[in-house]
Amino acid sequence: MRGLLWVDIAWGIFAVANLLGMVVFATWETVPFHFIWVSLTILYGFRVWRLKPTLSVLGVIIVLTGAVLTVDIARGTQPLDELTEVPLMSAMFIAMVWHARRRLSVMEQMKQVSDANLRLLERERRFIQNASHELRTPITVAIGHAELLQRSTDPSRMAADARVVLEELMRLRRLSDRLLLLAAADDPDFLHKQPIEVEPVLVSALQRWSPTARQWRLGTTDEAVVDADADRLALAIDALVENAVKHTTPDDWIELAVRRNHGVEITVADSGTGIPPADLQRIFERFGRSDISRQRNNEGLGLGLPIVKTIAEAHGGTLRVRSEVGKRTELTISLPLAVGLEEGTKGLPSPTLLPTHLP
């Protein structure tokens, strides 16, 4: 709007000229008086200043025009009722301010909605492209090996091809299960909350994953209770551990911990490949994977961390990441403490957790 500053300057010169006209030509001063007020109203409808400059200009015009009219009334060149023009014109201008600002507010809201819709459409477009790509790969592989099965007469070859077909079909099922979970996140029945202790959830996850060759650690385990869906929370922790496993080797360590501060922080850290700074936000997008994951031909679906983020936010929490390439990655779910149970966790039943990995 700085490019229109000349309009404000031109109006200022016009207003000063009319004020001088009110002083010099006292007998017909109502003409320049109305020129000032009408031009101010038109200018505001065109420019819509911020509120503070608007009130400042309004105050100056009220004082100056009112002062000139008062002087002329005292001299007898104008009748007393001319002074009522000042509040009337002020009211007209204030009405213009109210309508203009309301219109501006509505336009800003419409722009925000439009921008949000454009971002949503772009995300949906990328999602459909990525989902189509992810679905096409196992389908193509499964079809190819099914055709080999159809032509093969070697029992050992048939068994190997059948195993590949089964693996790819299982991959498709995992993909569809995760897509359905993400799609159900907005449903009212997505979560079935109850007060649960967090430590048993971590211990259970550690037990499920301990057969995988890594240096497993159980870090800080503060007593903490959250209002959560036990199965969904276990699923989120499994996804974090699965992500850590994919980016580590048997020589790396993976640590699970829970810390209680103003809320509850559930952390899965590892000493794996790390995540480049440019990829820290992309990893939370559906089918989003870091460049390092792609370079290593990681077979992940790119839905694990979006699932964790969805589950954390459904619980009123957040998911954050800290990482150093080649050194360490730390993913933390932050959840609010259970209402009314901040002072202790004794006597709470441990959640029943299904001994399964992320679907």
**Residue 291: per-residue pLDDT:** 45
Please check the confidence at residue 274 and state whether its pLDDT lies above 50. yes
Q: What pLDDT, in 10s, does the model give residues 301-321?
A: 567 788 899 899 999 999 999
pLDDT for 84-113, tens place per residue?
888 888 887 887 778 777 888 888 888 888
* pLDDT recorded at residue 345: 46
| Mean pLDDT along residues 259-267 | 91
Q: Which domains does the chain have, with CATH numbers?
A: 1-186 (no CATH), 194-335 (3.30.565.10)
Average pLDDT, the chain: 79
Query: What is this structure's pTM?
Result: 0.55
Would you put residue 229 in left (φ > 0), alpha (ψ -120 to 50) or beta? beta
Contact 306, 175 (CB under 8 A): no
